[in-house]
Amino acid sequence: MRNLVVWILILSLLLMLALLFRGGGTEGISDATTSNYLYSTYYLVWAAAVGASVLVLFRNRIGQALKAAALWTAIGAVAIIGYTYRGEMTDVKDRVMSELVPGRPLNRGAHTVEIVRTRSGEFQVAASVNGVRVPMLLDTGASSIVLTQEAAKAAGLPLEMLEYNVTVETANGRARAASVTLDRVAVGDVVERAVPALIAQPGQLRTSLLGMSFLNRLESWEMRGDKVLMRGYP
């Protein structure tokens, strides 16, 4: 009986090859139409071959064969739907992750990101400084990006050469900071280069701040309720 199944599959394969070679000489039909016709025929013949093979193998267990066919049909349908709507599924995944992971930028188009406010009322931002992930708080009252010592060290800045000669206001009062220029600052797809920033003295700042030296470089930024939208230049 298995030999019969093998012969069915071999004959089906030969038939499909014959159809494909025959299609090469089709005249009066566009290439796209011919291609669609051939592929449709290909899949129909293949489906018929597989169906015939299943019937031969499970002729005494037709109920089991139908259940197996229904299961694989459902799996195939889910796979096709998932592939067809993969763009929408990615958008849904990004939305969910932006809600679950505070500060995770949600891409809203070319060079445009959205940040969701946390339950504490702050805008946490998962930024990147010189290629290193640096958690920040969005602070429109800060005139500049301000990095903690730990963030500056992780970003590879030369801490031993800094001069803390800039006075800044923090939640703990006045502090001294050092002026630097960051090679690259990114929030999702929004990227700015050569961005002025400050590095706070050790122990003066618990969280790095994303201030106006970054926001003022953008094409636009705005707050919409519990979200902030940033749009960079192309």
Pick from 59, 45, 57: nearest CA to 5:
57
Mean pLDDT by 10 residues, the chain (234 residues): 53 56 46 54 61 61 67 70 58 53 76 89 93 94 93 94 86 82 95 96 91 96 91 92
Q: Where are the domains of the chain?
A: 2-84, 102-231
pLDDT of residue 172: 63
Pick from 132, 129, 99: nearest CA to 116:
99
Superfamily of domain 102-231: Acid Proteases (2.40.70.10)
Q: Is the pTM of this model over 0.95?
A: no
3-state secondary structure 75-121: HHHHHHHHHHCHHHHHHHHHHHHHHHCCCCCEECCCCEEEEECCCCC
pLDDT of residue 8: 56
Cβ neighbour number for residue 100 with a 10 Å cutoff: 9
pLDDT more than 70, % of the chain: 58
